[in-house]
Amino acid sequence: MHLHPSCGGTATRTVGGSRLLTVSVPSEAQVNYATEEFSHDEREILRPYFTNLDGPVFALVNLPEVVKGALFARYSRSSKSLRRLFLDEFVGELDTAGDTTIGATIGVEKAEALYDRVFFEYGDDSVAQLGGVHLACEQASNILTKILEWGRLMSYLEQSTRYIPYDTRLGGRYRYHRDPDILSSNLGARYVAGMDELFGTYSELATVMTEHFRALYPKSEGDSDFAHRQAVRAKAFDAVRGILPAAALSNVGIYGSGQAYEALLLRMRASTLPEATNYADLMLTELRKVVPSFLKRVDLPDRGAAISEYLRANHAAMQAVAYGMLGEDNVVVPRGSQVELVDFDPEGELKVVAAMLYPPHRHVRVVRARQGARPLE
């Protein structure tokens, strides 16, 4: 076992020939992330461009924006990790000569000093919009991906269940989140068995549906073997992906400003989902290697920590009020009535048409636009 002092509270171990990264969390539980193997030469190539070569969270540095964007574009249709994609598909296109001594923080000291003064001391949050980071978040459960993408203040690219077979394994195990508290409970074995059965069923049906669609859509004369094979696989994966549980792991590429990352981390640190709070610490460690000044307030007791605690306390208080007023909702929904319309706007279409008429007309009032739209009902 080798401890990683740069990560803090992490270690790697080998299980069945695969390396696993173990991350300690506040409750003393441990989360195991599969560690990808790179040769010595590959690590030397990766080191100038990725802030972390072992963990599931890392930032991209010292690369042209177009290259980072292209890497994330490939993310959604590849089963490879971002670092493996970079090695396999992008290194040959880059002139890496002379880059061997580049570090993740080279050349930013003056800029960081300026940002520290304007952003932290003067409180001008707008400067945090000037620094952006491409952050790769791998092995995140589908529940966590919703938390990561909830703010919509950033650009996201998530691995697609339509193009990637989800029965491939990470570290010899199916791709689903293993919460340490669940695994250590009396439900741990049942959880693993249930998840393995779900993924096994998914794998079997994916094979059956692939054969079905291959017979249903034979290869046309103008199609290449590759294009036809990919189209058939996409139809099969699309048909069976509903079986995948919320714990299924995904990879998410995020690009955002320092300000957006700060807001995201404050929410994640206040979350009641242990995976989210643990992942927030991983993200903060990597982001501080790229834009440290923009994230200086996140864990300060009188700044970011206070905001996260307020959000957490407010959620708990509202949860108590909600259960106090509404009680437990254990009503059984009748079969065939899973969808219920709870509200609609009878003048919705009228308002949409009025909104379309209003901007092009330089002198009309909103009321007049509404009146003009009414004959179209």
In terms of domains, do 345 and 294 share one?
no
In terms of domains, do 265 and 376 share one?
no
pLDDT digits (tens, 9 = 90+) for 265-309: 999 999 999 999 999 999 999 998 888 878 889 999 999 999 999
* Contact between 78 and 89 (Cβ < 8 Å): no
Count Cβ neighbours within 10 Å for each residue of 206-216 and write b for 16 or more, e otherwise: beebbeebbee
pLDDT digits (tens, 9 = 90+) for 70-128: 777 777 778 899 999 889 888 875 555 544 444 433 333 444 555 565 555 555 565 55
In terms of domains, do 363 and 251 share one?
no
pLDDT for residue 19: 62
In terms of domains, do 133 and 71 share one?
yes
**Nearest to residue 28, comparing CAs of 197, 181, 165, 158?**
181
In terms of domains, do 278 and 375 share one?
no
Q: Is residue 318 part of a domain?
A: no
Compute the distance between CA of residue 267 and CA of residue 126 in angstroms, rounded to an integer: 19
pLDDT for residue 65: 63
Per-position DSSP letters for 40-87, written without gaps between them: HHHHHHHTTTBS-SSSSEEEE-SS-HHHHHHHHHHHTT-SS-HHHHII
In terms of domains, do 347 and 283 share one?
no
In terms of domains, do 54 and 110 share one?
yes
In terms of domains, do 154 and 277 share one?
yes
In terms of domains, do 251 and 364 share one?
no
The parent domain of residue 171 ranges over 40-177+247-299
Q: Is residue 258 part of a domain?
A: yes
Q: Is residue 84 part of a domain?
A: yes
Count of domains in the chain? 2
Is residue 349 pLDDT above 80, yes or no?
yes
In terms of domains, do 170 and 279 share one?
yes
Q: Is residue 184 part of a domain?
A: no
pLDDT for residue 113: 55
Question: CA-CA distances (angstroms) from residue 356 to 68, 225, 350?
Answer: 38, 47, 10
pLDDT digits (tens, 9 = 90+) for 135-185: 899 999 999 999 988 876 788 889 889 888 999 998 899 999 999 999 999
Q: At 21, is the pLDDT very low, low, confident or very high (cuts 50, 70, 90)?
A: low
Is residue 203 pLDDT above 50, yes or no?
yes
pLDDT for residue 273: 95
CATH number at residue 138: 3.30.70.3180
* H, E, C per residue of 165-189: CCCCCECCECCECCCHHHHCCCCHH
Q: At 377, is the pLDDT very low, low, confident or very high (cuts 50, 70, 90)?
A: low
As a whole number, mean pLDDT of residues 17-39 equals: 71
Query: Who has greater pLDDT, 167 or 2?
Result: 167
